[in-house]
């Protein structure tokens, strides 16, 4: 994910920006790995609107949801 996280950086007027907005409005929870954010020096303000931070890590969040 760290190599691809640039896709989710705030860039208005891109297809991914519109798609993420639609998913969020539909009630989908968009969580970004807190560990990746720390290692890449990304803040929540850098991400597209609608994301939350998976503070304990994305893998842990996935396990919790199962």
pLDDT of residue 1: 43
How many H-runs (helices) and E-runs (strands) does the chain carry?
3, 2
Helix (H) or strand (E) holding 43: none
Check pLDDT > 60 for residue 3. no
Q: How many residues does the chain have?
A: 66
Model confidence over 12-54: pLDDT tens digits?
A: 677 777 787 788 888 888 888 888 888 888 888 888 878 888 8
Structural domain boundaries in the chain:
5-65
């Amino acid at each position: 994910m760290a190599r691809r996280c640039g896709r989710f950086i705030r860039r208005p007027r891109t297809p991914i920006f519109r798609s993420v907005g639609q998913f969020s409005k539909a009630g989908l929870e968009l969580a970004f790995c807190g560990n990746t954010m720390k290692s890449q020096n990304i803040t929540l303000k850098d991400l597209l609107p609608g994301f939350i931070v998976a503070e304990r890590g994305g893998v842990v969040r996935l396990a919790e949801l199962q």
